[in-house]
Structure 1
Amino acid sequence: MKTAPLGHRNRQTIRSAMVVAAFVAAGTAALSMPSAQAVTGSAQVTPASAAQCEGGANGFVDISDSLSGTIPGPAGSYKRYGQTGHVRITLEYGTVSGAQRGWAKIDGGTFPGDRVWMDRTQDGGSTWLQCGPFTVGSNGASKTSAAKNTSGSSLWRFRACGDFTGESGYVCTNWW
């Protein structure tokens, strides 16, 4: 018997159901995974639109959506599994325009409307600038945030965050 291909909404529903089932099956252990964190607290967040982080604005540098760098260990990556495979949100760093810079990336089984952004702090996480969000435009496409210089200071830190089309809430990697 032939069946019609799944539409976008049906894939979203199946992906959401599979994610919920995976978390229920894993119990509370899934909530304590070291690779992602819930974002709560009273820190001051300064949102910056994608435009405030593009074209060299505020010291950010535009990069290719296909650029890959080094992921700083398991704390720099979050994976979500679904109908189209995994979606991965990563914090990455590498040499861009002659300097070491960090950026956020989403790739894998993405859907249009999935988003990624990078949070950057210069005071150890008490306050931070949210650079983005940057929105995925087509199925399976990668998307990056703009890149920002890194620093040897323990107060300068980055994390990658994202959210998924048709799902509430968002996830972030740990600070690096």
Structure 2
Amino acid sequence: MLARIPRRRPALALATGLLLAPLVVTGASSPAAATPQECERGANGFVDIPDTLRGTPAPVAPARIIGLTGTLYYGKIGGVTRGWAHLGGETTWGDSVWMDWSRDGGRTWIQCGPFEVTSGGQTKTSAAQRTSSDPNWKFRACVRWGRHIPPAISCTDWW
């Protein structure tokens, strides 16, 4: 015997998805995902930084999703100017931040992260990567609101 599925739930899921659809950011090409371990402890030129570290905000608008703010910062770390992504705001378990890094102007990139929040109110950063005067060397910060299924994602513009 087949169970009868109420029609309200699919309609509610569709309506919720349509309302949050503008929050989801997609790119022209797929990232090469890197695990946090591929972006930590010096791997691929990335360095670890404290989850509370802030620097000079990059000249791009922060990524925002319902109480979360993703900011792209840069500053001197160990004598080298580096960029990183920072997640702040009303965070809770499951929210995350990462930094996309491109060497071809944003056509392709490495996604460094996600780095997940483990408790409410916690700030989180990505690992930091050195900056460059090369106009093709770009970063952006991305955040995921983990309380929604599917998660909503927002990224800053490339800098």
Where on the TM-score scale, by shorter chain, does this alignment land: which range?
Answer: 0.7 to 0.9
Deviations 1:35-74 (A, max 9, x none): x983232x2421000011011111100000000011123x
Are 1:66 and 2:66 counterparts?
A: no
Partner of 2:77: 96
1:38 maps to 2:25: yes
Contact 1:76 1:159 in 2 (8 A): no
> What are the superposed Cα offsets for residues 52-109 of structure 1, whole Å, 9 maximum, x if unpaired?
1011111100000000011123x2412334xxxx321111110011110000110111
What amino acid is aligned across from residue 121 of structure 2 in structure 1?
Answer: G
Contact 1:116 1:133 in 2 (8 A): yes
The two structures, once aligned, show a CA RMSD in angstroms of 1.9
1:53 equivalenced with 2:36 (yes/no): no
| TM-score using structure 1 length | 0.73
Counterpart Cα distance in 2 of 1:37 and 1:72 = 22
Q: State the identity %.
A: 44
More helix by share: 1
Tell me the residue number matched to 2:10: none
Match of 1:130? 111
Question: Which ranges in structure 2 are unaligned for 5 or more consecutive residues?
Answer: 1-15
Aligned 8 A contact 2:63 2:143 in 1: no
Secondary structure at the counterpart of residue 152 of structure 2: coil
Which residue is 2:120 aligned to?
139
Partner of 2:9: none
TM-score, with structure 2 as normaliser: 0.81
Instruction: Give, in whole Å, the separation in 1 of the partners of 2:140 and 2:71.
Output: 8
SS in 2 for 1:58: helix
Instruction: After superposition, give the CA deviation of every residue in 1:114-167 in whole Å (9 maximum; x if it has no partner).
Output: 010000000101110000010011100000000000001110000001111222
Moved over 4 A (4+): none
